[in-house]
Structure 1
Amino acid sequence: MRTTTVGDVTVLLPDLDPEDLDQVTDLPDDDLRHGLVEGVSWRGQQIADLSIRGCRITGADLGEITWEGGGFYGCEIVRADLSGAALTGVSIERCSVTGSRFTGTRLIDVRLKDVLFGNCRFDYATLSRVSAAGSVAFTDCTLVHGTWSSCRLSGVALRSCDLSNLELDSCRLDGADLRGSRLHAFAAPLDNLQGVALTEDQLPDLTRMAVNALSIDVRADAARGHDR
């Protein structure tokens, strides 16, 4: 059993042996199990209720796919391109996703459990009603200019990520570990962030958020009169 620990979050990872996997090039009509998927292009495909289990997917072009239902279980996904994809009602469980691109991707009603995202790009991505049903960690990921709404991501780890200009609306990120992450122009209601873990050098960004949330009027000191 493989695990990795990010902050206080321990993620259960897939344990695949490439010698046990069969080479796959075509998108199957039925569930895909124990496949080695390398360098394929399924760009723009429409996929429904397809489950991929125990597979290693490397260098795949999955950009602009429309995927509804099904999901990934016990998979390793490396350097895949899902830019512009739309995933709805998909489950991602016990998966490692590294070096992959989710630029402009829409994740809707997606369920995450024991998932590690490492060095991935989620710039301009939209997450709606995404939920963490178990351990979830993002490390060294870029999530700039994204929009997250109605997500349930309590206790996730977002370590050493770039969260600049990321906007949260009605999300539960309470107890999340944000240490080492860049929070420039990060926007979220304060009650979405209850109990998050930060480092001392991140406090100015939190102060800025509080000032904006409370519409505090910060003014220069009034000039003092001089005695004659």
Structure 2
Amino acid sequence: MVRRSGKTRVAAARRPEVRLPPLRPYEGGGLEPDGDHDGVELAGLDLSGGDGAGARFLDCALRDCVLDETSLVNARFIDSVLTGVRGVGTDLAGASLRDSEVVEARLGGVQLHGAELERVVVRGGKIDYLNLRNARLKDVVFEGCVLSEPDFGAARLERVEFRDCALRGADFSGARMRDVDLRQVTELVLARGVEGLSGAVISTAQLLDLAPAFAAQAGVRVED
């Protein structure tokens, strides 16, 4: 059901306040499973094919690192910043990001299914084929970024904002939303899952653009 209101109030996402301490250069040769990283900076490293499954990053910065086929399954990022990371096939399935920022990332086919994101900002950059199926997003802001064919299938989104970003070919099948604000999306194109927008707020212009999808979902045939 589409609900319209002249004054729609949406609970705003709580943004992270990341204040990194003075960081030490990372001296490891690469990632290690279940590695424990506290207050270090990984800068300009090629971590392609590395295995950091289960690793913990607390008060850390990853800057301009290459993450092609890097495994970070079940990794935890807390009070950390990922800036300028790039790669294809990065595996973050089941990972946890809390009070963290992802800035100007260039990623393709990144796996975040089953992940938990809480108080996270994704700012700038472009992410293709982002897999967030069955993920939990709470207090998350996507800002000024391009998400091409993102998959939010069966994900739970609470207090999530999309600001000045493009959603191209998005799949919201089975998603559950509460206080999700899509009104400032610059490009909203759905591939599937218009029913998953229940609990989201869209603009009047977006409603008109999505009218054919809503009509099809309701079984309404529109003819001139």
TM bin, normalised by shorter chain, reads: 0.7 to 0.9
The secondary structure found in structure 2 opposite 1:95 is strand
Per-residue displacement from partner, 1:147-178 (whole Å, max 9, x unpaired)? 22211112211122211211121111332011
Match of 1:21 among 16, 20, 23: 23
* Matched position secondary structure for 1:173: strand
1:164-196 Cα distance to aligned partner (Å, 9 max, x none): 211121111332011121113453232x22232
TM (norm. structure 1) is 0.85
Give the AA of the match of 2:40.
Answer: G
SS of match in other structure, 1:204: helix
Which of 30, 43, 64 is 1:38 aligned to?
A: 43
Q: Which runs of 5+ in 2 are unaligned?
A: 1-10
Change (3 A) 1:176 1:184: same
- What's the RMSD between the two structures over aligned residues? 1.9
Distance of 2:144 and 2:197 partners within structure 1: 20
Letter in 2 for 1:194: S
Are 2:31 and 2:47, in contact at CA under 8 Å, matched by a contact in 1?
no
Secondary structure (helix, strand or coil) at the match of 1:88 reads coil
Match of 1:141 in 2: 145
Aligned AA (2:23): L
The answer on 1:212 being equivalent to 2:185 is no
Q: Partner of 1:89 in structure 2?
A: 94
Q: 2:207 pairs with 194, 197, 203, which one?
A: 203
Q: Counterpart amino acid of 1:189?
A: V
| Separation of aligned partners in 2, 1:108 and 1:206 | 26
In structure 2, distance between residues paired with 1:207 and 1:28: 48
Check whether the contact 1:98–1:118 (CA below 8 A) recurs between aligned residues: yes
1:119: how far off?
A: 0.8
How do 1:7-18 residues align onto structure 2 when only pairs under 5 Å count?
A: 8-17=12-21
Cα distance in 1 for partners of 2:75, 2:43 equals 21
Q: Contact 1:110/1:131 (CA < 8 Å) preserved in 2?
A: yes
Which whole-Å CA distance do the structure 1 matches of 2:40 and 2:93 have between them? 23
Matches within 5 A, 1:34-73: 34-73=39-78
Which residue type is aligned with residue 216 of structure 1? Answer: V
Q: Which has the higher strand share?
A: 2
Q: Percent identity?
A: 21
- Whether 2:165 is the aligned partner of 1:188: answer no
Alignment counterpart, residue 161 of structure 1, candidates 161, 165, 177: 165
Which structure 1 segments of 5+ residues have no match? 1-6, 221-228
Q: How far apart, in 1, do the equivalents of 2:141 and 2:73 lie?
A: 24
Structure of greater Rg: 1
Cα deviation 1:50-108 (Å, max 9, x = unaligned): 10110111101112112222311110111001421111221101101110023111112
The amino acid that maps onto 2:146 is T
Corresponding letter in the other structure for 1:178: L
